[in-house]
Amino acid sequence: MDNWEYNGEHDYYVCPNGQKLTFQYFSNRTDRYGFTREFRVYQSENCNDCPLRSHCTKAKEGNNRRLFINKKWEEQKEYIRTKLSEEETGDIYKKRKIDVEPVFGFLKANLSFTRFSVRGKSKVENELAFALMAVNLRKYTAKIQNENNPNNPKQNRNCGNNNSMLIPQFFSSKTGYVPASTFYMTNSLLIA
């Protein structure tokens, strides 16, 4: 539908085969959350002999292509397109690539944290806290290793601690992120 031509003066769409889809009526739909959306329904005049019919519509033979347009949704999409094309918004998204996205990438790729294994808001918050704690431990380890690196010009020679040897073992696991419930179950079996 994005590549279909729209005539705003006479309020109709033109399909890739040149058929006009004229405005027919308004339609309201209520989704499962109780939100009602208003659509403008457009219908073509004759789709029976169209060579593009099988690519264009799933309507039964004899029925014409109908197009449901939500004007508010279309206006919102256009607003977002213009907003994303602005230079200031582009700068914000450039920062997001550096600051935010690597954290999610690390959680998914290295810790295999692609979904939650618990239900309920408080349990999900706890599980997310464990995952983010692992990310923060990684950052902490990297900071310590950089401080202990003799080639680092910002080296703190008085640091002298050996924490950098302990924490990398946390990340050497092949299984990835382990939910807290599994951790507690394993510890209770070891104690018993």
What are the CA-CA distances from residue 184 to residues 28, 87, 89, 115, 192 (Å)? 51, 49, 45, 19, 12
CB 37 within 8 A of CB 75: no
Please tell me the pTM assigned to this model: 0.48
| Model confidence pLDDT, tens digit, residues 100-130 | 888 888 888 888 889 999 999 999 999 999 9
Domains of the chain by residue range: 5-70, 102-178
| Model confidence pLDDT, tens digit, residues 17-68 | 888 888 999 999 998 888 899 999 998 888 777 877 777 777 777 778 888 9
